[in-house]
Amino acid sequence: MLTIVLASSSPYRRELLSRFKLPFDVFNPDIDETPLTDEKAKDISFRLAREKAFKVAPHYANSLIIGSDQTAECQNQIIEKPNTHENAVKQLQFLSGKVTTFYTSLCLLNSKTQQVQECVVNFEVKYKELNENIIESYLLKEQPYNCVGSVKSEGLGITLLEYIKGEDPTALIGLPLIKLSQMLHSEGVIF
């Protein structure tokens, strides 16, 4: 069996992949995630998932390498990880009451055959109307500074949302397991 490798530094993706109960390695691809000029959120996500997988490939021959990335967009503005409390406050103030589309891309690279499977899973989220007290209380409790959209939907962040629409709830967390299981199955992986 080919080695499964997660090309990511994300603890959330690592936790999600562990749900498959399969052994896997983790390798940080350490790529520049700066958007290209005029690049759309969906395109950024797709490009970065591919770049992560291909950056790790030279380190793992005969492997199935998983690259994934997530971006979001609201009112034609790209939404990224806030990284700081101040940025998260501003981000949640902007997203308050608005619909946001999350794009979670997936790239599965077979480094032995060079076969690539790719997809983008869209997820629509509507944030509730959020006031300063709600925002501060949430951020102090959950500190989602490394989460796109300043929200952990798998945790307390669900209380900030009016609704979520999508086919795979794990896509919103950062790794679309339904699509990934299909891709791995097509490579002969048995769960």
Catalytic residues: 69
Rounded to the nearest angstrom, the gap between the alpha carbon of residue 21 and the centroid of all alpha carbons in its chain is 20
Residue 84 burial (CB count, 10 A): 10
Strands 63-74 and 3-7: parallel
Q: How far apart are CA 108 and CA 145, in angstroms?
A: 27
The pair phi, psi for residue 142, each rounded to 5°, is -110, -25
CB 92 within 8 A of CB 130: yes
Task: List, in sequence order, every residue forming a beta bridge with 63; answer none if it has no partner.
Answer: 3
